[in-house]
Amino acid sequence: MGMTFWLAQTKAALARVEMLAYIQDLAVELFQVYGVDAERISLNITVEQMRLNIHKAIPCGLILQELISNCLKHAFPPDTPGEIYIELRSDSLKQSTLIVRDTGIGLPQAVDFRDTRSLGLQLVNLLTQQLHGTIRLDRHEGTTFTITFAELLSKTRVPATGS
């Protein structure tokens, strides 16, 4: 095996993000930034062992940052306990589904998340478009955002080594 092969393999590995660790780190950091009492608001993460292409992982991370931040700022009035659920899974058709759900007070019916003055929700919609995905909102028992997108299949070429 030559150096060219090793470099190609390393580049391919760096171009994909291990999503479980990424999401756990991001969520824990946000809980710390907002000074959340983990006894009052619990975090439940269910993420399949998967690696996403960096072009999908970064928008997912930005979407998560915005939706988790919204949960922490708005879903739970002071001294109100609750839960935040984050799920990421993939199916056999290479479709990924990202779900962010809280058991809080819910997004008011008057708020149209697709046409809002909220810069954060505008960003979530734009990033979903960047993923070529769809976004759905469920206001039943809290707030649930479900984003579905196709995984980006990247082809990695490994040059042949001559001897």
Range of the domain at 61: 3-150
Total-model pTM: 0.81
158 falls within a domain: no
| pLDDT for 158 beyond 90 | no
Number of domains in the chain: 1
pLDDT tens-digit map of 65-122: 999 999 999 999 988 999 999 999 998 778 999 999 999 998 888 777 787 777 888 9
Question: Quick one: pLDDT at residue 108?
Answer: 81
Classify 63 in phi/psi space as left (phi over 0), alpha (psi -120 to 50) or beta: alpha
157 falls within a domain: no
Domain CATH code at residue 68 = 3.30.565.10
CA-wise closest residue to 66 among 19, 12, 118, 14: 118
102 falls within a domain: yes
